[in-house]
Structure 1
């Protein structure tokens, strides 16, 4: 699943929320909505990312790590839900250090190159842009904000395949390797584009009960359930809609609740007093309150320190792991700025990658 697909996926699941709340068929057929030719849109603008991540209950994607421990919440004391892995917060935080870059390090970038006449060509991260259909010949010239642009000293534009020109500005895609100079790269090697590798994403899944899931209505959008989940935001996150038998008409819809803190059996007993329908409770790293705190903290860094080059933030959503901070380069300055939010609760995804 591509990260840029997640807004469309969020809209699909919002439609499914309506479907799951109905007391009887017929239900709308979502199969076409999920697979039929939609034009994927890019994610939200960077400075609004933190607030959107909260509103969307973290449905926007983050690379998964559902097996890490969490720090306790400030809202209510509780025990942490058991996780299948014993790694420590210190180990998880150190994992981000694999991406740390300092002046003099060998680094690599892969993606969009922009060359304005009379200026040093730059690499530009995949920033969110308005999806506007400009008439032919009316497209704006490519550009990249200075706080995200990485200067490419010594780049040979003649070696970049498929360059296009709009209003005198050249743009194309390439992979560039060289020496990091803090906001710039002294180019050693340039090749055709080699997309960045990302770990495979594994969505949270509900264990199948004996006899399988039944097709039945639910009251997930009822006032009682909404108030319950809001009251337990310090320990749980969700709801997340799952489709174990596909999305055809009449297929069962299962509500997944992630539990970060507290006893799972006690939570289920309380939840069943207000909820009717299919559901499951699975361990997650962050509760809704945890997620809001972390993504808001990343958002504060984004807006308060734009020169750091952090361009998006989101919660774990369907993957149950850490919050996501996408950055131009993970420098010691970025690390220091994100540390108060809890580096063991954040997965850093940089565009400037060290070459070991």
Structure 2
């Protein structure tokens, strides 16, 4: 599954104890070639096309989840806040659903729902799979349009271009698409999902295989980022967003909680500098809520952490120290510009929840 409902996904294991992620999604798309206000085209869930329309959809996310954090970052970098509103679920939940317990009365203020599960059931009664974030919800029907996070993010980059802010960067440049796709072909299974394969392995052999693949890839990334500022080209791309959401959680969660403990990212000079560089870039660190991240993993995953005790450490203030990565060249947003301050108070990370 594509969210952090891993205590459900952890039950999905192969015979040799390897964690297997459920990758079945509602694959509907929101596209620009349908008139705004029209009904979706198609009659089969997962293959329907919905029109791009400002104000019609709400991005349901959770700061705790790395997959949802990708969409939060993309939405902010592209300046889609006015076109697509955002609801934020709390970091803890039960086996049934993410819940909006951060909001007054425990309900999302726009849709009025308490559990994200309600929007899934509005689309598919008795929806049988995990209730995942991110999910794009159609406001007129309060039903999920898609939870296919990768396609959702690409649509935010391409199909929603009419609503991008002035200066929105090109996060998937044509000249680097093959390189970005090649990077994802090994970073996703061994790093993004690799930490979960390590943490949720049910057998020693499966754990050690995932652990070894994870560190082989992190060593490969350390070498790559020693001489280049970003993963592909000289600007930030979707490849960097994908890696960032894993790296920023690594020392706080994955190193101990998921037993990925050969090194901390702070002990790997290139990756540590790269992480600080991105964290200090508008749109990245200002979307991270570390108390929520830690509370989710350590409190929800009782199979891994039976007591639910959330550690006080580590000290994350080093994320704000100078990184000197600009000496490698490159321009974070290329010909574009950085996003401005977060205007909506409800979307700002609470004071004291960042790295400072």
TM-score bracket for the superposition, by shorter chain length: under 0.3
Give TM-score scaled by structure 1 length. 0.26
Give TM-score scaled by structure 2 length. 0.26
* Higher normalized strand content (fraction of residues): 1
* Higher normalized helix content (fraction of residues): 2
Relative contact order higher in (CA < 8 Å, ≥ 6 apart): 1
